[in-house]
Amino acid sequence: MKFTFVIWFASMALVQAGLDFPATLKEIHAPADAKVVTAEFEFTNRTEKSITVAKVNPTCSCIAVKIKNGKLQYAPGESGLIRAEFDMGNFSGTVDKVVAIWLDNDPDDQPTLSLTVRVHIPVLISLEPKSVKWEIGGKAEPQTIRITMNHTSPIRVIDAKSSSEDFKLVIKPIEEGKSYDLIVTPVDMTSAGLAVLRIETDCELAKYRTQQAFGIIRKPSPAEVKP
């Protein structure tokens, strides 16, 4: 499997406390069926003293970080490599994940530098909007969520269910396999309510088969209340 990498370079090499990183941000354009993508950050010790990588901390459990050969101490002029593996899970769209690096005697709350992995993940199924809202005591008028497929193969909506009986759902095909309207109508407008709207599709990729939207009945915010 091939990935397309776009690497952002500063006009000159970025040096952080003696470690020279040609790039601290790497972008990956991942295919829809990718499960894991990898970004590699090379560096060199440009100082005249030894530098130790004290700690490496990913800010998300979806990132696994490894230092090549497990090496933590780097002599002057010596180079190394930090590899970040991003588990795609159910992410979609553009996702930034940060890896914090502590050197030598950095305070626990002050890493020397951070590395960013920016992953562009195809959005095969888009929902617009993802939430439909009504105000308590208002009219129970239907609202529409447009479901658009952005895949080379048709994707069909096969079912839609609400976690609450306070909302009725109707699927209306616009162009079979390409776009649908999910018409959401509240049943009870007398109290606040929240429902998860689960949209089931026949997408060939398992992670895209179920999509979620939300139906919300809420109190009007103070700014919306007219005197």
CB atoms under 10 Å from CB of 221, counted, come to 8
pLDDT of residue 14: 43
Selected from 2.60.40.10, 3.40.1440.10, 2.170.8.10, 3.50.50.60, the CATH number assigned to the domain covering 125-224 reads 2.60.40.10
Per-residue confidence band for 9, with pLDDT thresholds at 50, 70 and 90: very low
Which residue type occupies 100?
A
Rounded to whole angstroms, how far apart are CA atoms 160 and 164? 12
Q: What pTM was computed for the model?
A: 0.73
Neighbours of 160 (CB within 10 A): 21
Q: What is the pairing mode between strands 210-218 and 131-135?
A: parallel
User: In whole numbers, what is the pLDDT of the chain averaged over residues?
Assistant: 88
Supply the pLDDT for residue 223: 58
Q: Which of 13-17, 148-152, 222-226 has the lowest mean pLDDT?
A: 13-17
Q: Tens digits of per-residue pLDDT, 19-36?
A: 899 999 999 999 988 999
Whether the link from the prior residue into 129 is cis, omega within 30° of 0, is yes
Domain(s) labelled CATH 2.60.40.10 in the chain stretch across 4-121, 125-224
Burial of 20 (0-12, 13-18, 19+ CB in 10 A): middle
Say yes or no: domain 4-121 is CATH 2.60.40.10: yes
Share of the chain above pLDDT 90, in %: 75
pLDDT of residue 3: 44
Return the CA Rg of the chain: 24
Q: Are strands 157-162 and 193-201 parallel, antiparallel or unpaired?
A: antiparallel
pLDDT for 13: 36
pLDDT tens-place string over residues 135-192: 999 999 999 999 999 999 999 999 999 999 999 999 999 999 999 999 999 998 999 9
* DSSP notation for 33-58: T-SEEEEEEEEEE-SSS-EEEEEEEE
Q: From CA 134, how far away is CA 144, in angstroms rounded?
A: 12
DSSP 8-29: ---SS-EEETTEEES-SEEEEE
